[in-house]
Chains A and B, each alone.
Chain A
Amino acid sequence: MGGVAWAELGALMLRHLYLAGVPLLVGLAVSLPLGWLASRVRWLGPPLIAGTGLMYTIPSLALFILLPLVLGTQILDDANVLVAMTIYAVALLTRTVADGFTSVPGHVRQAATAMGYGELRRVVAVDLPLAVPVVAAGLRVAAVSNVSMVSVAALIGVSQLGSLFTDGFNRNAMGPIVVGVMASVVLALLLDATIALLARLLTPWLRRGVPA
């Protein structure tokens, strides 16, 4: 299709999913405690959210080139891309997670504390499930952003769907470029839909109507 073999396309899509998806999960894991801190510690919230948010403004190409120097990795190492994409995910998700925790009604949190929940147990059992809708919304944005941004890594030679763009450009062929764009869009939509579905499954109480 478009001068690209199906097998090759499949392999590139899997690479793309790996390079964009794993950082999303790691980024979420890092953002949860950060966002929680930002929502809990009054003086820490604004600088933490602004600070992580600023990381999103670092140009990705610059990050891909700088990270090997910082991490001591080879320029072609996947780790550079994984770390860079994790940074972008954290940049987007810290605010979202903080918003999610802030969206938990105060009286619910207080009732939980009054029942005798310890702080950590309450965060896991009460705050976190209630933050799911807000966090999931932010995660969907981060997922699409990651899928699009990871393509840039093709410029430093890390293969994924972005490689089709450089390939098409070098050969002066439209085919691979069009295929690459379409595959990216499909991947982004799939990831987005998966997160939306997961969020739905995790929030059954939001789907029950008010009694007759």
Chain B
Amino acid sequence: MIRFDSVTKTYDDGTTAVDELSLEIPGGRITVLVGPSGCGKTTSLRMINRMVEPTSGRILIDGEDVSDRPAAQLRRSIGYVIQQAGLFPHRTVLSNVMTVPRLLGWDRARARAAATEAIEKAGLTAQQAGRYPSQLSGGQQQRVGVARALASGPQIVLMDEPYSAVDPIVRAELQDELRRLQGELGITVVLVTHDIDEALSLGDMVAVMRYGGHLAQFATPAELLARPADDFVASFVGKDRGYRALGFADVAVSPRPERTVRLGEAVPAGSGWVLAVDDAGRPLGWADARSWGGPLTESRVRRFGTIARLGESARLLLDAALSSPSRRGVVVDEHGAVVGTVLADDVLDALDARST
């Protein structure tokens, strides 16, 4: 656990970047600091590893004041990832990732073994390990940054806008991996972003900060969407927060039975939209049999619509229904086989039932 205890940071030029911040960041979770540009996120993050020293107040890691430890030693025990990855251009990926183990005084073989493992965990190949950072794409560089932060097995990893320089697809991929890694390793992640979507999708807890370094609200994403503390949080969280909140809402919807058709099976004309499945019962797509009939061929099947898994959030169920050409959202089990379909109304009714 990382505790901010009335922490204030006023820079030499008189700017108060963080004002009386008190915050308890839970261990073994992802906590996101989010807020508009210049609100003091980076300053807050950097006070944890003493890259910035607070003007007043204390920061405690598991009850121990960070200022009691020599700064360099403290930093070696905390992973740090920044936006452009901050990789050393003059060192290969492997040697970049070996940095902290070497600083900790591990011998070369042990450092190399730890680095190799971290590189693999971060989703990079052994071949990439021998390259220089400039020979990697932005997304790959970011992976190296993560590997470097994890190599010595720190309990805490700080990340400052780690994904803001990569394209949305790579970003989603890297976010997924962060969640996976965090779960696997049980580490405490403190991540800074100005992207509320990233905050809501990654954070177990989200601290919304406002300009002048004030904490506006500290809550779970669901809580933030359902009960924003004030107008600032409400507007920062965004206009479609009602819809987004569904992403955190578990609803009891039982899918309706859906007749499925395999390729080659005859479909009577006028059957409407029919759901095509493979031999394992996994959805292939919808076929339009409103005016057409005959044996189902692959070319008749269109992959329309998103697919929701049983027990997923109301948002995904609703999205499956709304994106389906038949307006029936496909629901699958854990093996990916079709369980049935839901209508948007089913989801809305279930939500109503839940709130009354």
Contact = CB atoms under 8 A, between A and B. Distances in A.
Interface of A: 105, 107-108, 110-118, 126, 129-130, 203, 205, 208-211
A210 B134 contact: yes
Contacts of A117: 72, 103
Contact of B80 (A108, A115, A210): A115
B82 A205 contact: no
Q: What 7 A-B pairs have minimum CB-CB distances, sorted nearest first?
A: A111-B86, A116-B76, A116-B75, A114-B80, A205-B132, A107-B86, A129-B90
B156 to A, nearest CB: 12
B134 A205 contact: yes
Nearest to A119: B72
Given A126-B88, A205-B90, 15 more contacts: A105-B89, A107-B82, A107-B83, A108-B89, A111-B86, A115-B100, A117-B72, A117-B103, A118-B72, A203-B90, A205-B89, A205-B91, A205-B134, A210-B135, A211-B131
Contact of B82 (A111, A116, A118, A208): A111
A112 B89 CA distance: 12
13 contacts: A107-B82, A108-B89, A110-B82, A111-B80, A111-B86, A111-B88, A113-B51, A115-B76, A115-B100, A116-B100, A208-B131, A208-B135, A210-B135
Interface residues of B, number: 29
A116 B134 contact: no
A130 B137 CA distance: 21
Given A114-B75, A115-B100, A115-B103, A211 B136 contact: yes
A130 B90 CA distance: 7
A209 B136 CA distance: 10
Interface string B63-104: 000000000111110001011111111110000000110010
Nearest to B80: A114
B108 to A, nearest CB: 15
B51 A114 contact: yes
A208 B103 contact: no
Consensus secondary structure, chain B interface:
loop
B135 A107 contact: no
A111 B80 CA distance: 8
Interface of B: 49, 51, 72-76, 80, 82-91, 99-100, 103, 131-132, 134-137, 148, 158
A199 to B, nearest CB: 13
Nearest to A108: B86
Nearest to B84: A107
B99 A115 contact: yes
Contacts of B85: 111
Contacts of B51: 110, 113-114
A17 B80 CA distance: 48
Contact of A112 (B73, B88, B132, B158): B88
B72 A116 contact: yes
B307 to A, nearest CB: 35
A108 B132 contact: no
A77 B65 CA distance: 62
Contacts of A210: 134-135
Contacts of B91: 205
Contacts of B74: 116
Contacts of B88: 108, 111-112, 126
A40 to B, nearest CB: 16
A110 B51 CA distance: 9
Contacts of B89: 105, 108, 130, 205
A118 B158 CA distance: 19
A107 B84 CA distance: 7
Contact of A113 (B75, B87, B136): B75
B342 to A, nearest CB: 45
Most buried by A among B75, B86, B100, B137: B86
Contacts of B73: 116
Contacts of B75: 113-116
Nearest to A128: B90
A105 B87 CA distance: 10
A212 to B, nearest CB: 10
Most buried by A among B51, B87, B99: B99
A208 B132 contact: yes
Contacts of A113: 51, 75
Contacts of A129: 90
A105 B85 CA distance: 12
B94 to A, nearest CB: 13
B235 to A, nearest CB: 31
Contacts of A118: 72
Nearest to B100: A115
B143 to A, nearest CB: 14
A118 B76 CA distance: 11
Contacts of B132: 205, 208
A205 B93 CA distance: 11
A111 B76 CA distance: 12
Contacts of A115: 75-76, 80, 99-100, 103, 148
